[in-house]
Amino acid sequence: MNNEKQNHIINYLKKDLRFDGRKREDYRKIEVETGIFKTAEGSARVKIGDTEVLAGVKFEVGKPYPDTPEEGTLMVNSELIPMSSPKFESGPPSPESIELSRVVDRGIRESKAIDYKKMCIRPGELVYSLVVDIVPVNAAGNLFDAAALAVWLAIKDAKFPKLEGDKLKYKEPTKQKLPILTEPVSITVYKIANYYLVDPTPDEEEVMDARLTVALTEDGTICALQKGGEEPLSKAEIESMIGLASKKAKELRKYLR
């Protein structure tokens, strides 16, 4: 049946169509919303079609890593809760969940989008650390792009809480936002047979041959890549996938406002 489903999807792709009537390079309707949680310093909700992802940012203070004594830290975690998809099970983090948070983390970290040096309180002793959590409410395909967008919007939304002594007063937020240098956008391009597509549905994710997540900064610099799927990709294929990703990244940027 899977093979049958794949052939059926390929028949659609041949005519530049998808199961829901979209074209290969079309995204579903995207909705974004920020500041949705009272208890987090920054938060965002992103809907791409039926997919809905929440992201929250918490500030903490702690010791910096020994190799970067003057820099704040970033931590991204995700939990693929069973409520969001029949494919997710409860229990220890699945490889999918780890991959999702690592890819989102890398996209932001490697773009050097946050000025970590400005998150330092006392070099080598005390720095701010950002803890970002990703929770899908409904996983109906394309979690990578939705999560990356939600996390970035949540980071942009985040406001430092007041620092008193060496403790954070979470109930007293300041107006100070995170020092942001550039805005990364992450696009995942999927390959099924000889066709490239973006924003897959769960059906398409199930039958894909390969996928490539591309994170790009504002000036179009590629800052992170992640390849997934069983099939290998040639150099030419990677180049055209990156080409498509940069094209779509420009479109997605308008949701960053």
Partner 1 sequence: MEKSELKVNEKDIVVPGEVLAQGMSYLPSEGTYRKGEDILASRLGLVRIDGKVVKIIPLSGKYLPKKMDVIIGRVTDINFSGWNVETNSAYPAMLSMKDATDDFIRRGADLTRYFDVGDYIVTKIYNVTSQNLIDLTMKGPGLRKIDGGRIVFVSPTKVPRIIGKQGSMVSMIKKATNCNIIVGQNGIVWIKGTNPEDEIDTVDTITKIEQESHMSGLTEAIKKFLESKGRTVVVEEQMQGGNDEL
Cβ proximity to partner 1: between 21 and 66 the closer is 21
Binding mask 14-33 for partner 1 (x = CB under 8 A): -x-x-xxx------------
Of 21 and 91, CB closest to partner 1? 21
Contacts by 5-13, CB closer than 8 A, 24 or more apart? 5/203, 5/206, 5/207, 6/192, 6/207, 9/192, 9/203, 9/204, 9/207, 10/192, 10/193, 10/195, 13/192, 13/193, 13/195, 13/197
What's the CA gap between 129 and 135, in Å, rounded?
20
Tell me the closest approach of the beta carbon of residue 194 to partner 1, in angstroms: 17
What is d(CA 203, CA 201) in angstroms, rounded to the nearest whole number?
A: 5
Size of the site for partner 1 (CB under 8 A): 12
- Please calculate the CA angle 73-67-105 and round it to the nearest 5 degrees: 35
Cβ 51 to partner 1, closest distance in Å? 16
Q: Alpha-carbon dihedral of residues 36, 167, 171, 47, nearest 10 degrees?
A: 0
Q: Is 11 in the site for partner 1 (CB under 8 A)?
A: yes
Q: Which of 6, 12, 144, 204 binds partner 1 (CB under 8 A)?
A: 12
Judged by CB, which is closer to partner 1: 130, or 207? 207
Q: Which amino acid is at 28?
A: R
Q: How far is the CB of 21 from partner 1 (least distance, A)?
A: 5
Q: How far is the CB of 146 from partner 1 (least distance, A)?
A: 21
Given the rule CB under 8 A, which residues bind partner 1? 1-2, 4-5, 8, 11-12, 15, 17, 19-21
